[in-house]
A and B are shown apart, each in its own frame.
Chain A
Amino acid sequence: MVTVVLAGIRAELTKIVTLRSTWIVTAAVLALHLLICMANLRQNTEAVATITPDGLIELFAGQPRPAYQAIVDFLVSSSFQMGLFLSVLAAVLAGQEFRAHQLGQSVLAVPGRGVLVTTKTVAVAAYLLTVSLVIAAISTAFMYAAVRGWDPAVVTSGGALRGQGRFLIFAVLSALVGYALTLLSRSTLIGIVASVALIAVTMTQALAGSAPALDALFPLSAGRNLLLNPADSRLTAGPVHALVVLVSWPSLTTAIAGLLLSRRDAR
């Protein structure tokens, strides 16, 4: 069984990296991140240059904060905002199965639906993790460029690494929801639309004020609750709750997608 699964993961990784749309979407996400980081670099460098003797920084005008924590928070937020786009990438990776009857070929090659979904999920998660690592590296490199004249070690401090680690967890788990929704709907477009709808619930703050417990059950809200500093952001749950929510969403949606795949005809 192990050799079957390993062979399946290898094949799924090949499917991912030999698809042109994978590279187009990946390049678009990374290019956008580079642009945003470049746009912020000058402002951050100037803010670092004016850190007060008592260690306060104004990354945002009129909001002085302790420099170390503010820089770490900004670094993590910088990565976090790009994590939103990984759901689109995940939907594209899953959606290839429903183009030109590839699902039929995949089932011929790996007829066990459980093995097929497992290997595909592991391969997609591995690819998303790789892209997320690149996003985190870009954030770190630009922040390093901004703080190197003050305290370059801040970007590799324990707080920064923990924050980036939480970002990686959020990025992979939340994007896997988009992947599973695409498998469920058998459509890249529906997968993307459903993912955007889930993100919109948090972005609009529609539930955060009136029903924070409900808001905390959405993936992006869980991401905020896991990554952001409660001193600066109105959060709706703690980090442990957030982690449970982030693990539950892809687990449940992928399990349902696998179940339906095994019960439906492969069309």
Chain B
Amino acid sequence: MIEVAHLTKRYGAKAAVDDISFTVPPGRVTGFLGPNGAGKSTTLRILLGLDRPDAGTALIDGRPYRELRFPLRRVGALLDGAGPVPERRAIDHLTWIAQSNRIPRRRVHEVLDAVGLGAVARQRVKKYSLGMGQRLGLAAALLGDPEILVLDEPVNGLDPDGIRWVRTFLRDHAARGRTVLLSSHLMTEMADTADEVIVIARGRIAAHGPLDEITAGHPSLESAFFALTGDQGPGW
């Protein structure tokens, strides 16, 4: 269970996140939607202990992430602002992460095989394509076989096969009673994957509820999203 309560984060005078509250229950895939700069990544970074909030709390099973002992066994995360040094080999990157949380070394090979990188595990990360880098990030998130997954744009750069694998994996993960919080810009992908949706705009929660409730009265999740965020749709 993820619980965010009255969370606020300011950069100077601008509030990136302004008094937001929501919960993410187990057994469901919860989508986290919002335009660029809406506060999605900031919220996830605070939840995962990377950034400090100015007010409010973000708890995982009742505790701040910072207080979790061997957190990767409880929470797997994929974030844009957390990645490998390009000169390091993929297998070495996962090995130090595993060692830091006393995760057995066999898990490194298991997750590399699971994301389709087993054959290129000894290549340096700088030789990886965007999609391969994304797969490596997913492998790192899955290393501790965590109960909770927090994934920021997990299908970025993935080929259709990879996207389908992620979708199926997340659905299965939630079906086993586990928790998934998924941020994505891809509305059709989100509509195919999420059970619940949280919509954030300009640092505030615009809507939160089951997918069918959010999309009620709209032809698609995309239409609902634009209506809720006040965005006029195509055109910058």
Contact = CB atoms under 8 A, between A and B. Distances in A.
Interface size class of A (residues with CB under 8 A): 20 to 34
B97 interface: yes
Interface in A94-138: 96, 99-102, 104-105, 107-112
Residue from the set B96, B99, B102 with the largest chain A CB neighbour count within 10 Å: B96
A110 B52 CA distance: 15
Interface of B: 45, 48-52, 65-72, 77, 79-89, 92, 95-97, 99-102, 140
A111 B74 CA distance: 13
A100 B96 contact: no
The 4 closest A-B pairs by CB, nearest first: A104-B82, A11-B100, A18-B92, A265-B51
A188 to B, nearest CB: 12
B32 to A, nearest CB: 18
A10 interface: yes
B54 to A, nearest CB: 11
B45 A265 contact: yes
A179 to B, nearest CB: 17
A7 interface: yes
A105 B140 contact: yes
A62 to B, nearest CB: 50
A10 B84 CA distance: 17
Contacts of A14: 92, 95-96, 99
Contact of B68 (A11, A101, A107, A111): A111
A99 B65 CA distance: 24
21 contacts: A11-B99, A14-B96, A15-B96, A18-B89, A18-B92, A18-B96, A20-B88, A102-B82, A102-B84, A102-B85, A104-B82, A104-B83, A105-B140, A107-B49, A111-B66, A265-B50, A265-B51, A265-B52, A266-B51, A266-B81, A267-B51
Nearest to A97: B85
Given A14-B95, A100-B86, A101-B83, A109 B100 contact: yes
Contacts of B100: 7-8, 10-11, 109-110
Given A265-B45, A267-B81, A105 B52 contact: no
Interface of A: 3-4, 7-8, 10-12, 14-15, 18-21, 96, 99-102, 104-105, 107-112, 263, 265-267
B95 A18 contact: yes
A105 B83 contact: yes
Nearest to B102: A7
Contacts of A105: 82-84, 97, 140
A263 B51 CA distance: 9
A173 B80 CA distance: 35
Contacts of B67: 111
Contacts of A96: 85
A10 B99 CA distance: 7
A107 B99 contact: no
B99 A101 contact: no
Contacts of A8: 100
Nearest to B92: A18
B102 A266 contact: no
Given A10-B99, A19-B85, 7 more contacts: A8-B100, A14-B95, A104-B50, A107-B82, A265-B45, A265-B50, A267-B51
B48 to A, nearest CB: 6
Contacts of B84: 100, 102, 105
A25 to B, nearest CB: 13
Nearest to B137: A105
Contacts of B79: 104, 108
Contacts of B50: 104, 107-108, 265-267
A111 B49 contact: yes
A10 B96 CA distance: 8
